Amino acid sequence: MGEDYYLILAGGIGAAKLIEGIAEIVDQESLKIIVNTGDDIELFGLKICPDLDIITYTLADVVDKEKGWGYQRDTFNCLSVLKNYYNTGWFNAGDKDLATHIYRTDLFKKRLNKTQITKLICNNLGIKAELIPMCNEPVETYIKTPEGWIHFEEFFIKYQCKPEVLNIEFRGINDARALEQVFTYIKKAKKIIICPSNPIVSIGTILGVKDIRKALSKVKNKVYGISPIIEGVTVKGPADKLMKCLGLEVSCVGVAGFYQDFLGHFIIDNKDHMLKPKIEELGIKCYCYDTLMINLKKKVELAQFIMNLD
């Protein structure tokens, strides 16, 4: 029996939906969330951590629920002027959102690290869960397209994931180190939940941080994942394109195969029920459920289903 907390591995929007559901049924204090920082980017001279911000705003209940990112009821006045100065105005930073980026950048200048900064931002917003950047070192994901290498955020937002993906690079990942307490959390957490996030550029990046994957593989029996792929397609985002680029089958079976060494349990969508035996052949316990979180009720139901599994 582990200690009284859950460890969650999270990307951005897909993860935030599930975390919102989980936070409805357990105290935020019992959640420790390792968040992908592989799509962090510097724009307008500001340090931006897209996934950390999505999860932070979600837990603080200030997120724009329609879009899944940014502050609700935000305005874009500053960005409309920034666009005159920079050609990076494709990044949608609202006025309130920019305040987070300014504060974070200021703290970086004062030599605080990403973990300390995240803690201050969370405290300020009254968040009780512990948000842990996957590492303090900078890691940036680059995508090779026929036009050359571009930052993942540029591929995702400016080019709307349209270019062909020829290669993926996680710049800085070899120097990335997890905080020491992450390994204690992996050992002692009651359950470890792998959110339905992009398996390559969100969860994959976290797994790329030295020794995280190995530590998870030692506690396989308490690792629970949720497939981000339903009926062979992503709910949102480029996971399918990126999986194809790495030679993986674009299906919940492909995701299970990618996670096979550390995944004990996998929740796939009811619509994929016929694939359950293929996942069990990989030595992973498989469960079918309605995993499409279209509203709060669905988020809570999925969270409850996961929490109830032995």
Q: Which residues bind ligand GDP (CB under 6 A)?
A: 11-15, 17, 51, 196-198, 202, 226-228, 230, 234-237, 239, 291-293
Looking up tokens 């992503």 gives 234
Residue nearest to ligand GDP (CB): 14
Closer to ligand GDP by CB, 54 or 215: give it. 54
Q: In the complex with ligand GDP, which residue's Cβ is closer, 107 or 279?
A: 279
- Smallest distance from ligand GDP to CB 208, Å: 14
Closest CA to 58 of 29, 90, 22: 22
Q: Which is nearer to ligand GDP, 235 or 248 (CB)?
A: 235
The C-alpha atoms of residue 211 and residue 283 are separated, in whole angstroms, by 22
Give the shortest CB-309-to-ligand GDP separation in angstroms.
Answer: 16
Least distance between ligand GDP and beta carbon 81 (Å)? 27
Q: Which is nearer to ligand GDP, 10 or 107 (CB)?
A: 10
Considering the complex, what minimum distance in angstroms separates the CB of residue 3 from ligand GDP? 26
Structure tokens at 79: 């960005």
Q: Which is nearer to ligand GDP, 83 or 236 (CB)?
A: 236
Please give the Cα distance from 230 to 234 (Å, whole number). Answer: 6
Q: What is the side-by-side strand order in the sheet with 31-35?
A: 130-133, 31-35, 6-10, 191-194, 223-226, 265-269, 285-289
- For the CB of residue 84, give the shortest distance to ligand GDP in the complex, in Å: 28
Residue 235 near residue 203 (C-beta atoms within 8 A)? no
Contact 195, 226 (CB under 8 A): yes
